[in-house]
Structure 1
Amino acid sequence: MSESVFALGELENQFWQLAFLMIRVGAALVVAPFFSAAAVPALVRVSVAGAVAIFILHWVPVVGLPSDLFSVPGMIVVVGEILVGLCLGFVLQIAFAAPLIAAEMISGAMGMSMAITGDPASGGQTTAYGQFFSVVLVLIFLTLGAHVQWLGLVIESFRAFPPGETWLGADRMAEVAAFGGVMFETAVRIALPVTVILFLVQVITGILSRSAPSLNLFSLGLPAGVLAGICALLLSTPLIYQHLSDLIATALLKTESLVIR
């Protein structure tokens, strides 16, 4: 009794190559902001990963593809692909966390920490100003075409780190961790003008309330702080736009440094 083996020849080989290339791209999209938003269906992410993998299959001469993905050497290569993809997406995730930290600082100084809303990007909760900053950063990110540049760097990573040579090394991992310092620095720069103005308003309100206790001017501190914070945000809009643009550019440069040997 003969056994019939069902195979599609070259078409089957291209399918497994495509599935393998989708691992790194899919890992990057899962971690990267905007692409990993809770509002983005999983089918869309898989479709984008498949489309990018098709371009990689035709543009980049990928060598070193494992012959058997389900063997021990094949699984080790898969883990390396996931590691590279997570690092490429994590850099953007760190950059997108900077305005959220700035929003927490501003909301706390204004007394608006109780104004919490749902964050569709992460599925959690954030302050109203955090949602505002997130929307502004996404718009700047798309307007500058940074999403195209980032996807281009993901494709270019297959030239720098072919399958089987995906160990980034301690120096590149340290660069990713050090980028967190840039995140905190940018958050402080965004929040500093507003928090300074709010501090001055609170000092003036405290001085007036101590000078004339019978007028109960201290009860006006919260409305005055909210009004001053809104005015400060409007005045510092060009500065905030510049900081966010520089943050995106720095994140792309940091991602590029990961894929350049």
Structure 2
Amino acid sequence: MIEIEALDVGHWVSRYVYPFARISGLLMVMPLIGTRMVSMRVRLLLAVAITLVVVPMLPPIAPVEAFSFASVIIILQQLLIGVLMGFVVELLMQVFVIAGQLIAMQTGLGIATTVDPSQGASVVVISQWFLFMVSLVFLALNGHLVLIEILVDSFRSIPIGLASFSVEQFGLLVHWSGWMLAAAVVISLPAMTALLIVNLAFGVMTRAAPQLNIFALGFPVTMIVGLLIMWLNIDEMASGFHRYMDTLFEFLKKLISM
């Protein structure tokens, strides 16, 4: 009979289970793969496949007793690192969702909602359209492959052990969240500015001709102008997402190298 010693089990856990925890944490949260549209079995198989490919490239890991409190702490820390990396990328996607909601409120399309299959929540149609657009651009630019490459590099800069993100790294995450909210305002600013001018024009028309039904006339005009502005800015939005994605990957590299 083949006898398995406790040291062998600890080496197997430290060699495969710890990287698997970090990789699965990323796949649970990252855009597209971490959504409800991808089943749990598919994510599990992807995590196992990536782990089997990545483990031979990793530096040696000190064996830890498999059934110990330290092993549980290390697994939770690896999950936290993967989840935070995926959360940072998900913030980039949600920027365009917020921008779509800001534009929808100005155009009067906020009442047009649909169910987002990736999140299972009701969102405005413009936000859903923006999300589809940036998801396709993310795949076209091989963003998922670059993200996995950064994840593999994180095993060298943040080696597996009791060490995890520092206070400075969490501070960078908070700063990144604020920067992305500002980016959502910048994306929606052209449409909001144009619609503000339209509303000011209708205000002047109302003062000049009070008999005009401003509600019946203003709603379709603001909606058409908003859709026209989005159509004119679609190329700039796609290129803007490209720039933001480059900034995102630079931020992730800086985050894991601290």
String of CA shifts for 1:99-157, please: whole Å, max 9, x gaps: 01111110000111111111122121211011011111111111111111100111111
Matched with 2:96 is 99
Equivalent residues of 2:91, 2:177 under 8 A apart = yes
Among 94, 108, 111, the alignment partner of 2:108 is 111
Q: 1:214 is paired with a residue of what secondary structure?
A: coil
Equivalent residues of 2:101, 2:124 under 8 A apart = yes
The more displaced of 42-51 and 52-61 is 52-61
TM-score with structure 1 setting the length:
0.91
TM-score with structure 2 setting the length:
0.92
Q: Does 1:247 find its partner at 2:244?
A: yes
Q: 2:114 is paired with a residue of what secondary structure?
A: strand
Q: 2:211 is paired with a residue of what secondary structure?
A: helix
Q: Which runs of 5+ in 1 are unaligned?
A: none
| Cα offset, 1:207, TM superposition | 1.6
Among 187, 191, 199, the alignment partner of 1:202 is 199
Q: Does 1:156 find its partner at 2:153?
A: yes
Matched with 2:219 is 222
Q: Does 1:183 find its partner at 2:204?
A: no
Q: 1:125 is paired with a residue of what secondary structure?
A: strand
Q: Which runs of 5+ in 2 are unaligned?
A: none
Percent identical residues: 24
1:80–1:198 Cα change, 3 Å: same
1:71–1:58 Cα change, 3 Å: same
1:85–1:55 Cα change, 3 Å: same
* One-letter amino acid matched to 1:185: A
String of CA shifts for 1:37-59, please: whole Å, max 9, x gaps: 11110011111111111111111
| Cα offset, 1:18, TM superposition | 2.6
* One-letter amino acid matched to 1:193: P
* One-letter amino acid matched to 1:126: V
Equivalents in 2 of 1:209, 1:62: separation in Å?
74
Equivalents in 2 of 1:245, 1:11: separation in Å?
46
| RMSD across aligned positions (CA) | 2.2
Q: Does 1:67 find its partner at 2:65?
A: yes
Matched with 2:142 is 145
Among 29, 47, 50, the alignment partner of 2:48 is 50
Equivalents in 1 of 2:250, 2:162: separation in Å?
22
String of CA shifts for 1:41-83, please: whole Å, max 9, x gaps: 0011111111111111111224124231x31111111121112
Equivalent residues of 1:198, 1:229 under 8 A apart = yes
Equivalents in 2 of 1:65, 1:182: separation in Å?
40
Among 167, 170, 173, the alignment partner of 1:170 is 167
How many residues align? The count is: 257
Equivalents in 2 of 1:108, 1:254: separation in Å?
31
* One-letter amino acid matched to 2:109: M
Equivalents in 2 of 1:71, 1:9: separation in Å?
12
String of CA shifts for 1:187-220, please: whole Å, max 9, x gaps: 1111000011111111112221222222324421
Equivalent residues of 1:186, 1:243 under 8 A apart = no
| Cα offset, 1:167, TM superposition | 1.6
* One-letter amino acid matched to 1:44: V
Equivalents in 2 of 1:62, 1:47: separation in Å?
24
Equivalents in 2 of 1:203, 1:256: separation in Å?
45
Equivalent residues of 2:6, 2:65 under 8 A apart = no
Equivalent residues of 1:110, 1:229 under 8 A apart = yes
1:11–1:41 Cα change, 3 Å: farther
1:9–1:73 Cα change, 3 Å: closer
